């Protein structure tokens, strides 16, 4: 726990039709208004951004996209640019491990997305995390620090950045990292940010944990000094569960 404002972000992944997303967003907006001490962000798929943004308008809930192109416009079939997100999203997830693993996104590509997003006023939610093999070989700290540094190459928007530590082996598996493991890596990430951005900027950046977070296990993560919230996948699709995560977080701050 820290003096930084906690963030609970929901990554809906490739789920929800626009109509389902509107309903989910409305339920989250209604339920989270009692917890103004927690910043709540929802990340619907592109096709549901407009409906979700409409459903949360007038509330404090913010909307993020799940990906963005680093290109401005042109012959990039299937891609979505930052200017297309204007008015729909304030945040964007970059470098999620599913994009890195399944769509071959390199650190360099992720850094280009983060830089472009920031340049147009979007706050990147930058994801980093080691795979199981790296964890087992004892190289997780060095790997994740390296990934963070490379994924922020050229980035200067330190006042507008969220980082999510998401160990690949904990995503969608039901086997979350231990709060100690999360704190260890998140603390290392803060040191890495300090060397990139300076100590004051690094102290202010919120770093989230992600990977099988639910309403039952959120508490001990939030209790850790460097963990400032969570990026939630599966549990973010269930409004009651997601709102309990928000409520637990509010209670601990």
In the beta sheet, which residues pair with residue 229?
A: 7
Is 31 an interacting residue with respect to ligand PGA (CB under 6 A)? no
Is 16 an interacting residue with respect to ligand PGA (CB under 6 A)? no
Is 10 an interacting residue with respect to ligand PGA (CB under 6 A)? no
Cα torsion for 85, 208, 147, 196, to the nearest 10°? 90
Distance of closest approach, residue 234 Cβ to ligand PGA, in angstroms: 4
Is 21 an interacting residue with respect to ligand PGA (CB under 6 A)? no
Is 233 an interacting residue with respect to ligand PGA (CB under 6 A)? yes
Q: Considering only CA atoms, which of 55, 45, 46, 39 is closest in space to residue 4?
A: 39
Is 110 an interacting residue with respect to ligand PGA (CB under 6 A)? no
Stretch that binds ligand PGA, among 15-23, 105-113, 197-205, 227-235 (CB under 6 A): 227-235
Q: Identify whether 96 is a catalytic site residue.
A: yes
Of the candidate residues 211, 218, 221, 226, the single one contacting ligand PGA (CB under 6 A): 211
Is 129 an interacting residue with respect to ligand PGA (CB under 6 A)? no
Of the candidate residues 171, 177, 222, 227, the single one contacting ligand PGA (CB under 6 A): 171
With contact defined as beta carbons under 8 Å apart, do 64 and 49 qualify?
no
| Tokens 């999203």 sit on residue | 89
Q: Which residue is at the shortest CB distance from ligand PGA?
A: 233
Separation CA 67–CA 82 (nearest Å): 10
Strands 229-232 and 123-128: unpaired
Give start and end residues of each alpha helix (H) in the chain. Answer: 18-32, 49-56, 82-85, 97-102, 107-119, 132-136, 140-151, 179-197, 199-204, 218-222, 239-252
If binding means CB under 6 A, how many residues of this protein chain bind ligand PGA?
13
DSSP code of residue 145: H
Distance of closest approach, residue 212 Cβ to ligand PGA, in angstroms: 4
Is 232 an interacting residue with respect to ligand PGA (CB under 6 A)? yes
Cα torsion for 190, 196, 199, 205, to the nearest 10°? -50
Q: Identify whether 166 is a catalytic site residue.
A: yes
Is 105 an interacting residue with respect to ligand PGA (CB under 6 A)? no
Is 95 an interacting residue with respect to ligand PGA (CB under 6 A)? no
Distance of closest approach, residue 127 Cβ to ligand PGA, in angstroms: 7
> Rg for the chain (alpha carbons), in Å?
17
What amino acid positions are annotated as catalytic residues? 96, 166
Binding region for ligand PGA (CB under 6 A): 11, 166, 171-172, 210-213, 231-235
């Amino acid at each position: 726990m820290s003096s930084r404002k906690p963030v609970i972000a929901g990554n809906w992944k490739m789920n929800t039709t626009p109509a389902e997303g509107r309903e989910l967003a409305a339920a989250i907006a209604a339920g989270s208004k009692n917890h103004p001490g927690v910043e709540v962000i929802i990340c619907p798929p592109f096709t549901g951004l407009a409906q979700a943004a409409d459903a949360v308008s007038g509330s404090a809930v913010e909307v993020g996209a799940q990906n963005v192109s680093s290109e401005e416009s042109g012959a990039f079939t299937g891609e979505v640019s930052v200017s297309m997100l204007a008015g729909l999203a304030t945040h964007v997830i970059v470098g999620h491990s599913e994009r890195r693993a399944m769509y071959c996104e390199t650190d360099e590509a992720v850094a280009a997305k983060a830089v472009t997003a920031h340049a147009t006023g979007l706050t990147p939610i930058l994801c980093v995390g080691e795979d199981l093999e790296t964890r087992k070989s004892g190289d997780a700290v060095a790997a994740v620090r390296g990934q963070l540094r490379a994924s922020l190459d050229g980035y200067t928007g330190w006042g507008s950045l969220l980082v999510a530590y998401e160990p690949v082996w904990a995503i969608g598996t039901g086997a979350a990292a231990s709060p100690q493991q999360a704190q260890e890596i998140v603390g290392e990430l803060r040191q890495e940010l300090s060397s990139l951005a300076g100590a004051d900027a690094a102290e202010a950046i919120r770093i989230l944990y992600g990977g099988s977070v639910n309403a039952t296990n959120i508490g001990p993560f939030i209790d850790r000094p460097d963990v400032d919230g969570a990026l939630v996948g599966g549990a973010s699709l269930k409004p009651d569960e997601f709102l309990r995560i928000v409520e637990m977080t509010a209670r601990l701050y």
